[in-house]
């Protein structure tokens, strides 16, 4: 009956894991396996719409402590069973798909904000905590972590760390690698390792960075010390419109150079302004730049004033606070559109998020945009601005023919990432590699890729941790 | 299957799980299947013929507290508990409902209520006979959970009426003591309709009905008309009835309530009936200190775990959900929890005996 393959239960594995966790926190229910067979990679929307889920795990486990994670990994390592660490399953690249079956290790029962140090401005968290829950807990106590990805309601801290996530306020608070201070990770053989909590260090290479972005292939991150900030005293909103995209980009670059740090930045190209912003109820022509400043009143007022002056000098027309305020209050709305777009219009929506330096930004934009536009409708915005450069988020809207399957989707991605490499960009700014981008990762930097393979072999000689991801090609790893 | 809910099922299946952080069952279990996304995906896969509708799928549709918090975080305003309710009805029709549910329904049918005791006798022993007037136009309907677990709150209700010179309210005699919501929650539609008809016979003359329980208020006011039973339109929760009287100064307050309180919005009173201000207004009239708020409050209030039949089908989960809500009560200075729903009170008391849990009526009664 089922179009998904049922796997044979490994009774010894089941019993050993039950010995570790008890019966209630180990599942081999076929229905659970189906719900752990996909993450939010839009490609799997096609699969689930047809009732075809191809990559089911054998078991799901819910450890509650680092010690339990360690014991689970020891069992799996001894038995050479793949383990896929799983937070919210909100990744967009197939990174949490259990390509080779095995055990899905769901971290969401490790979900506590364990301690908050007001003196050192640190939050000590288990990594299975959902972003929205963590932020709500911190807000209640007067703090924020400043990390607001679009997936905030469904993604976990561990997921952020494992994929090098960026939030909408990354320009002010940094990406997740800037927010984490130290972490605890469990290696494939069950060894628990910690990095020491200190503001900065000069103790050799930074082992935090070994695990951040490793997408569950080198270890399971179970606890982290995260930087926190006081809740903002006030916010200021500004919307400015530029006739030309290049003027808007120049304004953004000058803001960064002047040390002005809006928390939220989004410069839309003309198409994004027309489609996305107008869908949010903003009737604007041209390229809309929204800026949201937050923090201490005096600083916010000063930065807002500086930003208006810089943007005006670069050719921006000041539209007051309303466009930015409106965008801010609807900033998660675009993520809800995925369902009607797919269910009602038969279209797939996905985002290609790349980054480069200011000097190369327009070239990257034009090259990728041209390549993508041959296959799909393209909109673009520039968010997450930094002193050195900026990310570009291309939104693609693809309408595959009924029998097309993945063809159109895959062609668009091929075109986008080939163009990104050709134009000197990096193939991901914040969503990670997973199954989607590993082919291009190798091309992006062959020497680094070889080094990565070596580390993987050293840290996980039996290749049990999330096999097929980042450095190996999907099913070929199984 | 469930064609009427095609949009809900498809939208949820293809959604990036944007409401998942607020689902009490999803949070308590950590399981993807037990989120709105996971349950709806299963119904979608049934529709696609990928899996069979049967006992295993049905078990998962019974794992929803009906709290409706997911709707508050859904831009499409999808009401997932209604899909779960329809799926439960189908489960009962197809005889694939969980065994605990069958046993619960049999118990209810044998005893005439979900508590098992003679609730009519219990109620009559609480109050003087003069308060049971079958011809009264204004009737107080306490609800079965209140009669069984909180008789003192019923006594306090009539103490308040007396103190405010409200002498026109009679107590419903509880021959049919339950509004039927547990039958509805468990998918027993026909039995729910049968119970509704019995209630109609008992309550048809009432011009005003006041209840002590928000799920009774919602059921009598909104659900019964959906099955063809139209009682009076003037059906109120106790807090709605009391608020204007207290605002007019009818309650003779002798000593303001001095202990610190935190107010919990019951799901049925809040999201279902949209009654948020009246309980707060009533409490703030009689409390010396402002009543504290949970960080998740009003339409974003978090569930107590007592709804949707979860205490029957999964008592451990119900307890875990209640404990998550109660964690905030233990922070900072000592306080008691006050709410306006006997099912919430019961859920909290069963989960944690360190917390004093009160109905707003009990708080008011302590001030006169």
Domain endpoint, select from A307, A334, A361: A334
**pLDDT for res A144:** 98
Q: Cα distance from A180 to chain B (closest Cα, Å)?
A: 22
Name the residue range of residue A305's domain. Answer: 234-334
Percentage of chain B lying above the pLDDT 90 cut: 98
pLDDT at A473 over 70: no
Residues A22-35: what's their mean pLDDT?
A: 97
**pLDDT for res A476:** 74
pLDDT at A6 over 60: no
Q: What is the mean pLDDT of chain B?
A: 97
pLDDT digits (tens, 9 = 90+) for B218-261: 999 999 999 999 999 999 999 999 999 999 999 999 999 999 99
Same domain, A136 and A219: yes
Domain endpoint, select from A290, A310, A334: A334
Domain endpoint, select from A282, A314, A334: A334
Residues B133-145: what's their mean pLDDT?
A: 95
* Residue A442 belongs to a domain: no
Range B157-170 burial, b when 16+ CB lie within 10 A, else e: bbebbebbebeebb
Whether B12 sits inside 8 A of A338 (CB atoms) is no
Same domain, A353 and A299: no
pLDDT digits (tens, 9 = 90+) for B7-26: 999 999 999 999 999 999 99
* Residue A87 belongs to a domain: yes
**pLDDT for res A1:** 38
Same domain, A317 and A243: yes
Q: How far apart are CA A92 and CA B17, in angstroms?
A: 12
> Which residues make beta-bridge pairs with A318?
A240
Whether B32 sits inside 8 A of A27 (CB atoms) is no
Chain A contact set for B8 (CB, 8 A)? none
For B53, other C-beta atoms within 10 Å of its C-beta total 20
pLDDT at A8 over 80: no
Q: How far apart are CA B120 and CA B116, in angstroms?
A: 11
**In this structure, are residues A154 and A90 in contact, taking their beta carbons and an 8 Å threshold?**
yes
Same domain, A57 and A85: yes
* Residue A436 belongs to a domain: no
* Residue A438 belongs to a domain: no
**pLDDT for res A401:** 86
pLDDT at B276 over 90: yes
Same domain, A22 and A82: yes
Q: How far apart are CA B344 and CA B306, in angstroms?
A: 6
| CATH code, A38 | 3.30.43.10
Q: What domains does chain B contain, in order, with CATH numbers?
A: 3-97 (no CATH), 102-242 (3.40.50), 253-365 (3.40.50)
Nearest residue, CB atoms, B21 vs list A4, A36, A153: A153
pLDDT-derived band at A449, boundaries 50, 70, 90: confident
* Residue A284 belongs to a domain: yes
| CATH code, A315 | 3.30.70.3450
pLDDT digits (tens, 9 = 90+) for B147-198: 999 999 999 999 999 999 999 999 999 999 999 999 999 999 999 999 999 9
Residues B23-34: what's their mean pLDDT?
A: 98
**pLDDT for res A284:** 83
The pairing of strands A287-295 and A234-242 is antiparallel
* Residue A27 belongs to a domain: yes
Q: Cα distance from A4 to chain B (closest Cα, Å)?
A: 7
**pLDDT for res A7:** 60
Q: Cα distance from A240 to chain B (closest Cα, Å)?
A: 27
Torsion of CA A149, A155, A157, A163, to 10 degrees: -70
Backbone angles phi, psi at A207, to 5 degrees: -75, -20
Same domain, A26 and A99: yes
**pLDDT for res B284:** 96
| CATH code, A190 | 3.30.465.10
Whether B21 sits inside 8 A of A111 (CB atoms) is no
Same domain, A418 and A469: no
pLDDT-derived band at B37, boundaries 50, 70, 90: very high
Same domain, A320 and A371: no
* Residue A439 belongs to a domain: no
Chain A contact set for B44 (CB, 8 A)? 48, 51
pLDDT digits (tens, 9 = 90+) for A376-433: 999 999 999 999 999 999 999 999 888 888 999 999 999 999 999 999 999 999 999 9
Same domain, A370 and A412: yes
Q: How far apart are CA B74 and CA B52, in angstroms?
A: 28
What tokens appear for B303 in the block?
């569930």
**pLDDT for res A279:** 76
Q: Nearest CA to B147 among B118, B170, B169? A: B118
* Residue A57 belongs to a domain: yes
Residues B2-11: what's their mean pLDDT?
A: 96
Mutation pick from A36, A51, A138 vs chain B, by most beta carbons of B within 10 Å, is: A51
B351 — contact with chain A (CB < 8 Å)? Answer: no
pLDDT at A2 over 80: no
Same domain, A343 and A327: no
ipTM of the complex: 0.95
Q: What's the number of domains chain A is made of? A: 4
pLDDT digits (tens, 9 = 90+) for A62-79: 999 999 999 999 999 999
Chain B contact set for A332 (CB, 8 A)? 18
Same domain, A118 and A211: yes
pLDDT-derived band at A477, boundaries 50, 70, 90: confident
**In this structure, are residues B239 and B278 in contact, taking their beta carbons and an 8 Å threshold?**
yes
Nearest residue, CB atoms, B32 vs list A35, A130, A132: A35
Mutation pick from B28, B32, B55 vs chain A, by most beta carbons of A within 10 Å, is: B32
Same domain, A330 and A342: no
Q: How far apart are CA A216 and CA A437, in angstroms?
A: 16
| CATH code, A371 | 3.30.300.330
Chain B contact set for A333 (CB, 8 A)? 75
Chain A contact set for B73 (CB, 8 A)? 153
Higher per-residue pLDDT: A357 or A472 = A357
Nearest residue, CB atoms, B16 vs list A27, A32, A338: A338
* Nearest residue in A to B21, CA atom: A153
Whether B32 sits inside 8 A of A36 (CB atoms) is yes
Q: What is the mean pLDDT of chain A?
A: 95
Q: Cα distance from A203 to chain B (closest Cα, Å)?
A: 37
pLDDT digits (tens, 9 = 90+) for B318-331: 999 999 999 999 99
Residues B323-344: what's their mean pLDDT?
A: 96
Whether B57 sits inside 8 A of A49 (CB atoms) is no
pLDDT digits (tens, 9 = 90+) for B53-85: 999 999 999 999 999 999 999 999 999 999 999
**pLDDT for res B187:** 98
3-state SS class at A183: strand
A24-38, A271-285, B36-50: which range is least confident on average?
Answer: A271-285
* Nearest residue in B to A133, CA atom: B21
B43 — contact with chain A (CB < 8 Å)? Answer: no
Q: How far apart are CA B153 and CA B346, in angstroms?
A: 13
Chain B contact set for A340 (CB, 8 A)? 11, 76
């Amino acid at each position: 009956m089922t179009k998904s393959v049922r796997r044979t239960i490994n009774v010894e594995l089941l019993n050993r894991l039950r010995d570790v966790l008890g019966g209630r926190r180990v599942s081999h229910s076929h229905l659970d396996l189906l719900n752990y067979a996909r993450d939010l990679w839009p490609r799997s929307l096609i699969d689930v719409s047809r009732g075809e889920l191809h990559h089911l795990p054998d078991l799901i486990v819910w450890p509650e402590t680092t010690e339990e994670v360690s014991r689970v990994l020891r069992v799996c390592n001894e038995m050479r069973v793949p383990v896929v660490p799983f937070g919210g399953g909100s990744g967009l690249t197939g990174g949490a798909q259990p390509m080779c079956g095995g055990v899905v290790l769901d971290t969401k029962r490790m979900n506590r904000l364990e301690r908050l140090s007001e003196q050192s401005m640190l939050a000590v968290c288990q990594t299975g905590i959902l972003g929205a829950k963590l932020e709500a807990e911190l807000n209640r106590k007067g703090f924020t972590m400043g990390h607001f990805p679009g997936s905030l309601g469904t993604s976990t801290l561990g997921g952020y760390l494992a994929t090098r996530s960026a939030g909408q306020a990354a320009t002010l608070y940094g990406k997740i690698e800037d927010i984490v201070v130290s972490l605890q990770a469990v290696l494939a053989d069950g060894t628990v390792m910690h990095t020491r909590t200190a503001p900065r260090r000069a103790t050799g290479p930074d082992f935090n960075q070994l695990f951040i972005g490793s997408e569950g292939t080198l270890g399971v991150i179970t606890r982290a010390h995260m930087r926190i900030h006081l809740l903002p005293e006030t916010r200021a909103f500004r919307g400015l419109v530029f006739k030309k995209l290049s003027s808007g980009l120049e304004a953004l670059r000058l803001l960064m150079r002047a040390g002005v740090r809006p928390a939220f930045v989004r410069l839309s190209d003309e198409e994004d302004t027309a489609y996305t912003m107008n869908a949010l109820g903003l009737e604007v022509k041209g390229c809309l730049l929204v800026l949201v400043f937050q923090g201490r009143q005096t600083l916010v007022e000063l930065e807002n004033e500086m930003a208006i002056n810089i943007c005006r000098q670069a050719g921006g027309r000041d539209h007051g606070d309303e466009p930015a305020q409106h965008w801010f209050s609807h900033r998660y709305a675009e993520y809800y559109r995925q369902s009607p777009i797919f269910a009602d219009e038969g279209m797939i929506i996905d985002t290609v998020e790349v980054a480069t330096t200011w000097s190369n930004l327009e070239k990257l934009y034009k090259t990728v945009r041209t390549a993508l536009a041959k296959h799909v409708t393209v909109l673009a915005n520039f968010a997450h601005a930094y002193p050195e450069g900026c990310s570009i988020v291309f939104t693609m809207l693809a309408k595959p023919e009924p029998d097309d399957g993945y063809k159109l989707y895959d062609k668009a991605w091929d075109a986008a990432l080939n163009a990104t490499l050709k134009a000197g960009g990096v193939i991901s700014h914040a969503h990670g590699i997973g199954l989607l981008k590993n082919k291009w990762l190798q091309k992006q930097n062959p020497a680094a890729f070889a080094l990565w393979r070596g580390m993987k072999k050293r840290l996980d000689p039996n290749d049990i941790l999330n096999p097929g991801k980042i450095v190996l090609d999907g099913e070929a790893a199984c | 299957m469930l064609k009427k809910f095609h949009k809900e099922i498809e939208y949820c299946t293809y959604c990036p799980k944007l409401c998942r952080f607020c689902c009490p069952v999803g949070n308590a279990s950590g399981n993807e299947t037990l989120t709105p996304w996971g349950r709806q995906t299963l119904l979608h896969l049934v529709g696609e013929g990928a899996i069979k509708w049967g006992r295993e799928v049905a078990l998962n549709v019974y794992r929803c507290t009906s709290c409706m918090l997911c709707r508050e975080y859904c831009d499409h305003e999808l009401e997932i508990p209604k899909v779960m309710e329809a799926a439960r009805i189908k489960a009962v029709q197809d005889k694939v409902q969980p065994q605990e549910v069958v046993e619960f329904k049999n118990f209810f049918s044998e005893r005439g209520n979900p508590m098992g005791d003679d609730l009519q006798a219990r109620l009559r022993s609480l109050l003087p006979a003069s308060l049971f007037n079958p011809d009264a136009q204004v009737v107080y309907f306490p609800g079965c959970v209140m009669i069984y677990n909180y008789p003192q709150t019923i006594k306090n209700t009539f103490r308040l009426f007396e103190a405010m010179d409200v002498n026109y309210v009679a107590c419903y005699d509880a021959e049919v003591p339950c509004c039927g919501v547990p039958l509805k929650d468990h998918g027993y539609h026909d039995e729910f309709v049968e119970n509704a008809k019995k209630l109609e016979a008992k309550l048809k003359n009432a011009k005003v009905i006041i209840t002590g329980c928000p799920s009774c208020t919602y059921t009598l006011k909104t659900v019964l008309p959906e099955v063809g039973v139209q009682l009076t339109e003037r059906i109120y929760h106790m807090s709605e009835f009391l608020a204007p009287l207290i605002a007019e100064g009818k309650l003779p307050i002798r000593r303001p309530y001095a202990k610190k309180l935190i107010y919990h919005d019951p799901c049925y009173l809040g999201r279902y009936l949209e009654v948020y201000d009246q309980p707060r207004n009533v409490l703030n009239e009689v409390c010396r200190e402002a009543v504290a708020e949970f960080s998740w409050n009003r339409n974003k209030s978090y569930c107590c775990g007592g709804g949707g039949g979860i205490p029957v089908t999964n008592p451990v989960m119900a307890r875990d959900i209640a404990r998550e809500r109660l964690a905030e009560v233990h922070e900072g200075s000592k306080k008691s929890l006050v709410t306006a729903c006997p099912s919430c009170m019961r859920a909290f008391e069963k989960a944690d005996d360190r917390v004093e849990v009160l109905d707003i009526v009990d708080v008011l009664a302590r001030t006169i």
